[in-house]
Amino acid sequence: MTGRRRRLVILGNSAAALSAIRAIRSRGGDEQVTVVSREECHAYSPVLTTYYLRGVVPERRLFLCDAGSYRDLAVECRFGRTAVELDAARQRLLLDDGTRLDYDALLIATGAAPTRLGGLDDEVAGGLCYLRTIEDARRIRRLAQRARHVAVLGAGLVSLQTAAAIARPGVHVTCVVGSRQVLSQNLDAECAAIVRDHVVREGGIEFLFGRSVAMIDHEAEGYRVELAGGEELSADMVVVGKGVTPNMAFVDPGQIAVERGVLVDDRLRTAVPDVYAAGDVAQGRNRISGAVEVVANWIDACEQGRVAGLNMAGADVTFPGSVPENVTTLFGLPVASIGSVGAGDAGAGLTSVTGSCPERTTYRRLFLKRGVPVGAILVGDVGDAGVVRAAIVRAEAGAVPVDRIVRGPIEAGAVLRSCVSTSASTAVT
Amino acid sequence: MVLLLDEEACTGCMLCVLGCAIARTGEADAGRSRIRVYAGGEEGRFVPLTCQQCEEAFCAEACPTKACHREDETGIVVIDEERCIGCRTCIVACPFGAPSFDEVAGVTVKCDCCDGDPQCVKLCEPGAISFVAVDESSLRKRRDVALRRLQPAARTRAERIRAQEARCRA
Ligand SMILES: Cc1cc2nc3c(=O)[nH]c(=O)nc-3n(C[C@H](O)[C@H](O)[C@H](O)COP(=O)(O)OP(=O)(O)OC[C@H]3O[C@@H](n4cnc5c(N)ncnc54)[C@H](O)[C@@H]3O)c2cc1C
Ligand code: SF4
Ligand code: SF4
């Protein structure tokens, strides 16, 4: 081989991208690494934006990197540039300013963007708020300072956290929810009711369940939100939280297979050998259910990015699969959901064991498939979430002390012990 | 350096638990201790547990603020309480239940080996806790054994990566 350095292009500058870059550098090669992001700023954590809205985290603390970090990682930055076309056949990426980047390997780590509400006139559509980027957060913070009535469309994790961040005495927040419960992607109905009651009680947030939005119009100072059944509400600010859509417009589906996201194998390779994908844009195997789906969370984006980066730098590492997991705290009530929890369309064939204390301040539910734990919801005390997660990921029938876990927080030592006794008894038989 | 815990030697006296709480919070509140001892039920055994200083520290990788990180000089995984927002992501990530949310402080805390002078070691009469250099050969084996019992998949992955990397270097 002659001395040309391999050119690696990292598309995106967030969780998956940063983990990939660190992994590449950890192998000590001399690859030339270029990182492209459509945002001008250094990498920051979208997870923190709601903390910023609440005023708990100052803006500068949102950032994960400064100029020095990129210098230390020896990467060339192309910030403020959007990828518009990926020509995988020629191994070339086209940016919106006309630049062409040739690569030997490329990582798609472009994440996802909030799904936009359609069917509205341009001016109304342009006034709606979405939360994903630091720019979105600045805008919401600015508008929320003057708002008195805020309509939040949706009751997913981001919507609820945003609602919680905005609600304060004198500011009325109404959540308009299509389904019959909060957090329908993360929680079962019973647990969702506990969370809803808490949020209503502590935050004074109002919920309108089972309603869909028919139209949003301008009104004197703000917006009139018309609901399908004929109800109306006025709001001087509308925040939309209707899920996210992977950022993959630059991908040619004729070259690289896509479904809901960019399809990846267990080495995070796309259909094209030198193109990898990781994070919220990638659709890969769910470690627990085996389904091929987009699992969008920070932990997973980091893990996938790391494995993709190692492979791009010449290693041969497999990713064990994504684990859906989320932990959030709403008005002081921590809620964790791990694995398959019967939410969405994954409910088929699951049974569950529930434990809760009479005052309903803690609630724990374990989901099983053919007797094997596949998911858990913990409310109130989530201190053992990692131990439970490890137990579920490991899950072999009988190895997880299901009854203990639903009774109350479990210590890692208890799982260690039960494993030891299980393996001992297996050894005897 | 890392804390090596010997469950065979542990008598379950809980002095480390209380000592840690007192040293780090000023109160004898076992709930705020960063080391735990599980009274093992049927067999009457005790399992002391605290941060294992994982080579691939999942907690640090997952932390969205990077409050949880590995210190360059010491190699010890710590949580910077100034930066921590208490999101509990590291708690979900850690298979050993090492990080815990301190309700009083409002942040997540975990064992950080007391700046190189772990208090629990001095309190453990039977010598079940020792503070040893990371490169001691038995250490990796011990941690692998612990991980295998807790999460075989994680161990195999770590081992696979190590083996693969060794192959690539060869
Ligand atoms: C308010 C909020 C709260 C959240 N809370 C949690 C939580 O508590 N726990 C959790 O696990 N997850 C949480 N998440 C989700 C988490 O933020 C994502 O899973 C994670 O950020 C995914 O990382 P990523 O690297 O895949 O993509 P992203 O973070 O979406 O980053 C994508 C990157 O790609 C760039 N990009 C996009 N398109 C292009 C293009 N065409 N050309 C060039 N660059 C492009 C962007 O500028 C950005 O740098 C939250 C998200 C939000 C918005
Ligand atoms: S906190 Fe847990 S995951 Fe992190 S280094 Fe310690 S034992 Fe490992
Ligand atoms: S609780 Fe603190 S240390 Fe843990 S992941 Fe969140 S910010 Fe990081």
| C-beta A83 within 6 A of ligand 1 | yes
* Judgement on whether residues B42 and B64 belong to the same structural domain of the protein: no
Partners of A94 in the β-ladder: A85, A100
- Decide if A290 is inside a domain: yes
Q: Which positions ≥6 away from B126 have C-beta within 8 Å?
A: B9, B10, B11, B13
How far apart CA A142 and CA B83 sit, in angstroms, is: 24
Tokens of B135: 């490169």
Burial of A261 (0-12, 13-18, 19+ CB in 10 A): buried
- Decide if A382 is inside a domain: yes
**Mutation choice for ligand 1 from A10, A247, A307, A319, CB with most ligand atoms inside 8 A:** A247
- Decide if A281 is inside a domain: yes
Distance of CA A216 to the CA centre of its chain: 28
pLDDT value at position A3?
77
Q: Characterize the bridge pairing of strands A292-293 and A282-285.
A: antiparallel
Span between the terminal Cα atoms of chain B, in Å: 29
How far apart CA A69 and CA B56 sit, in angstroms, is: 21
* Judgement on whether residues A249 and A229 belong to the same structural domain of the protein: no
**In chain B, what residues touch A420 (CB-CB under 8 Å)?**
149
- In chain A, the number of structural domains is 3
**Mutation choice for ligand 3 from B59, B83, B85, CB with most ligand atoms inside 8 A:** B85
Cβ distance A327 to B87 less than 8 Å, yes or no, reads: yes
| C-beta B130 within 6 A of ligand 3 | no
- Of the residues B60, B75, B110, the one at which a domain ends: B110
* Judgement on whether residues A289 and A343 belong to the same structural domain of the protein: no
Place of tokens 């109350």: A408
| C-beta B58 within 6 A of ligand 2 | yes
* Judgement on whether residues B131 and B100 belong to the same structural domain of the protein: no
Comparing CB atoms, the residue among B38, B42, B151 nearest residue A390 is B151
The answer to whether the CB of A185 falls within 8 A of the CB of A195 is no
**In chain B, what residues touch A341 (CB-CB under 8 Å)?**
none
Cβ distance B97 to A420 less than 8 Å, yes or no, reads: no
Which of A265, A357, A257 has its CA nearest to residue A307?
Answer: A265
* Judgement on whether residues B158 and B137 belong to the same structural domain of the protein: yes
Comparing CB atoms, the residue among A382, A387, A394 nearest residue B88 is A382
Does residue A124 belong to the interface with chain B, where contact is any CB pair within 8 Å? no
- Decide if B116 is inside a domain: no
* Judgement on whether residues A375 and A269 belong to the same structural domain of the protein: no
Q: Which positions ≥6 away from A263 have C-beta within 8 Å?
A: A256, A257, A270, A271, A283, A284, A292
- Decide if B118 is inside a domain: no
Does residue A414 belong to the interface with chain B, where contact is any CB pair within 8 Å? yes
Place of tokens 């890969």: A284
* Judgement on whether residues A228 and A293 belong to the same structural domain of the protein: no
* Judgement on whether residues A141 and A232 belong to the same structural domain of the protein: yes
Closest ligand 3 atom to the C-alpha of B91? 4
- What is the tens place of the pLDDT at every residue in B95-127? 889 999 999 999 999 999 999 999 999 999 999
**pLDDT per 10-residue tile (average), chain B, 170 residues:** 85 92 92 87 76 89 93 91 94 93 94 93 93 65 56 43 49
Closest ligand 3 atom to the C-alpha of B88? 1
Query: CA-based diameter of chain B, in Å?
Result: 53
**Residue B95: which CATH number?**
3.30.70.20
pLDDT value at position A413?
72
ipTM of the complex: 0.86
| C-beta A297 within 6 A of ligand 1 | yes
The answer to whether the CB of A122 falls within 8 A of the CB of A323 is no
Q: Which positions ≥6 away from B165 have C-beta within 8 Å?
A: A27, A315
Q: Characterize the bridge pairing of strands A372-379 and B2-5.
A: unpaired
**Mutation choice for ligand 2 from B34, B35, B59, CB with most ligand atoms inside 8 A:** B59
| Full residue range of the structural domain in which residue A103 is found | 7-113+245-312
* Judgement on whether residues A131 and A223 belong to the same structural domain of the protein: yes
Helices (H), A27-176: 49-53, 67-72, 122-127, 134-146, 157-166
* Judgement on whether residues B37 and B13 belong to the same structural domain of the protein: yes
- In chain B, the number of structural domains is 2
* Judgement on whether residues B24 and B38 belong to the same structural domain of the protein: yes
| Vertex A295 angle, CA A19 and A86, to 5° | 65
- Of the residues A242, A257, A272, the one at which a domain ends: A242
Tokens of A195: 């969370």
Phi, psi values for residue B61, rounded to 5°:
-65, -40
User: pTM for this structure?
Assistant: 0.89
Q: Search chain A and give the residue with CA nearest B158.
A: A317
| Full residue range of the structural domain in which residue B96 is found | 52-110
Query: CA-based diameter of chain A, in Å?
Result: 78
Which of A187, A202, A194, A125 has its CA nearest to residue A156?
Answer: A187
pLDDT value at position A195?
94
Ligand nearest to the CA of A329: 1
How far apart CA A413 and CA A33 sit, in angstroms, is: 43
- Decide if A379 is inside a domain: yes
Residue with CA closest to ligand 2 atom 8: B54
* Judgement on whether residues A30 and A52 belong to the same structural domain of the protein: yes
* Judgement on whether residues B57 and B103 belong to the same structural domain of the protein: yes
- Decide if B84 is inside a domain: yes
| C-beta B65 within 6 A of ligand 3 | yes
Cβ distance A318 to B96 less than 8 Å, yes or no, reads: no
- Decide if A327 is inside a domain: no
**In chain B, what residues touch A314 (CB-CB under 8 Å)?**
168
| C-beta B52 within 6 A of ligand 3 | no
**Residue A187: which CATH number?**
3.50.50.60
- Decide if B19 is inside a domain: yes
- Decide if A145 is inside a domain: yes
- Decide if A39 is inside a domain: yes
pLDDT value at position B5?
87
- Decide if A364 is inside a domain: yes
**pLDDT per 10-residue tile (average), chain A, 429 residues:** 86 97 95 98 96 94 94 97 97 97 98 94 92 97 95 97 94 96 91 94 96 92 92 96 97 97 98 96 95 94 96 96 94 94 68 73 86 91 91 73 79 59 27
* Judgement on whether residues B64 and B105 belong to the same structural domain of the protein: yes
The answer to whether the CB of B92 falls within 8 A of the CB of A297 is no
* Judgement on whether residues A132 and A184 belong to the same structural domain of the protein: yes
* Judgement on whether residues A216 and A297 belong to the same structural domain of the protein: no
Give the Cβ contact number of residue B72 at 10 Å.
Answer: 6
pLDDT value at position B137?
46
How far apart CA B47 and CA B12 sit, in angstroms, is: 8
pLDDT value at position A132?
97
Which of A325, A344, A322 has its CA nearest to residue A335?
Answer: A325
* Judgement on whether residues B61 and B41 belong to the same structural domain of the protein: no
* Judgement on whether residues A369 and A416 belong to the same structural domain of the protein: yes
Give the Cβ contact number of residue B162 at 10 Å.
Answer: 13
* Judgement on whether residues A106 and A250 belong to the same structural domain of the protein: yes
**Residue A364: which CATH number?**
3.30.390.30
Buried/exposed code over A205-226 (b: 16+ C-beta within 10 A; e: otherwise):
bbbbeebebeebeeeeebbbbe
- Decide if B45 is inside a domain: yes
Place of tokens 């939360």: A131
| C-beta A36 within 6 A of ligand 1 | yes
Q: Search chain A and give the residue with CA nearest B84.
A: A57
